[in-house]
Homo-oligomer: A and B are copies of this chain.
Amino acid sequence: MSKPRIVILGAGYGGLVTAIRLQKKMRRNEMDVTLVNKHDYHFITTHLHMPAAGTDHHDNARVTISDLIDERKIRFVKSTVRQIVPEEKKIILDESTLDYDYLVIGLGSETETFGIPGMHEYAMSIKSINSVRFIRQHIEYMFAKSKMAPKRKDYLTFVVGGAGFTGTEFVGELADRIPVLCKTYDVDPADVSIYNVEASASALPPGLPEDLILYGMEVMRRKGVQYKLSTAIKECTSEGVILSNGEFIRAGTVVWSGGIRGNSLLQEAGFEVQRGRVKVDSCLRSYSFPEIFITGDCSIVTSPEGAPYPANAQIAVQQGFNAARNLIQTIRSKELKPFIYDFKGTVATLGRGEAVGLLKVKKVKGRLALFIKKMIDARYLFLIGGLPLIWKKMVWKQKSTTRNYHVPN
């Protein structure tokens, strides 16, 4: 009689793709799908390093959800999830509750600070439209402030903790942004310092071959980035960072990109977690509650050899496809299809005009790598919003990247 109720928590890569694929594949009246998200927009996490540095407008990193889903087919609820109660198949939202028969959890990640004192309090992190808008303004504020107190060189000192994927892409953009800010604020570029601090022995995303890493670091150094490798941040204070080698860097800006953990709601709901993430079965389901699918940064999927895959957008999108398919199969009482991660490669940008990457086994760098990166971005935009979205976010975006001081007439 009653249709199965599917609730999707989070409109990140995993949740949004699940919703879009369900919308496309489900039959009329086959199921009742509700998508819950804190904001009325989806944001493109892999693009957030640009608005964080101020080299692109944050609107180019988000899409209004109602532009992506058909609200006659999928109900969208803009609300914050307070609690997941798997035993009662119930979700407690800010001002209401939802019952479900099947649940997809795609609630994304939180910042992992590894217990470094002061990191939560004093460092910023690249995780949402709100947070990157804040980082961008904080950086500009420091430039403005430096002109009111010319001796405070710490206002012009920027520390990025973590030289992995996000850290590297952000530092590349920040280094490109500095000359523009120096011009706007009459600041001597020689007074600005950018440090990228990394506990491991190498910068740039892990897994890249040695020669690409050296190439990338050279690109970054030429832009003025100073690396502190094999160096951990021991403590973050209101005045800067204390490093494992005893050095203290006085800095007005500390951005932490050293790690993520799964959304804490999962642990609170009683799931067994590792760094907030839940190990799922071959079909992305919770071992304890098979009606719950978990995607993206909240889930741990292991390779055939048993090693967990790193959390990234690519795997989350593929999980979304798989979860939608298996939800339909479940409802139709058909056999489920296990999730197999198809690693297509990874490309990290190094600011304007430069990137490095590995495609399956092919190494790419420079403009070619950047071109491929743009193709990856375009592919995702096409997937969620078709050609119009590519046009809006990649081609026509010039328009919204200029910010006019004038009140529009």
Contacts and interface: CB of A to CB of B under 8 A. Distances in A.
Interface of A: 51, 54-57, 129-131, 133-134, 136-138, 140-141, 143-145, 147-148, 176-177, 179-180, 184-186, 352, 398, 401-408
Contacts of A177: 407
- What is the oligomeric copy number? 2
A286 to B, nearest CB: 31
A351 to B, nearest CB: 8
- What 4 A-B pairs are tightest by C-beta distance, nearest first? A137-B144, A130-B147, A134-B144, A141-B141
B148 A144 contact: no
Contact of A402 (B134, B141, B147, B404): B404
B138 A408 contact: no
B403 A402 contact: yes
A131 B130 CA distance: 26
B137 A137 contact: yes
Contacts of A186: 129
Contacts of A147: 130, 133-134
A372 B129 CA distance: 43
Contacts of A180: 407-408
Contacts of A138: 141, 144
A185 B128 CA distance: 13
Interface centre among A137, A184, A398, A406 (most CB of B within 10 A): A406
Contacts of A176: 407
A405 B57 contact: yes
A244 to B, nearest CB: 29
A402 B404 CA distance: 4
A402 B148 CA distance: 24
Contacts of A148: 130-131, 134
A406 B145 contact: no
6 contacts: A51-B405, A54-B405, A56-B406, A130-B147, A134-B147, A403-B403
Contacts of A129: 186
A405 B333 CA distance: 52
Contact of A405 (B131, B145, B402, B405): B402
Contact of A407 (B55, B402, B403): B55
B134 A179 contact: no
Nearest to A41: B186
Nearest to A134: B144
Contacts of A143: 137
A184 B352 CA distance: 25
Contacts of A145: 134, 137
A143 B58 CA distance: 14
Nearest to A400: B405
Interface centre among A51, A140, A401 (most CB of B within 10 A): A140
Given A130-B147, A133-B185, A148-B134, A407 B141 contact: no
Given A133-B185, A140-B140, A148-B134, A352 B407 contact: yes
Contact of A404 (B51, B133, B179, B401): B401
Nearest to A131: B148
Contacts of A402: 402-405
B405 A56 contact: yes
Nearest to A50: B405
Contact of A179 (B55, B352, B403, B407): B407
Contacts of A140: 137, 140-141
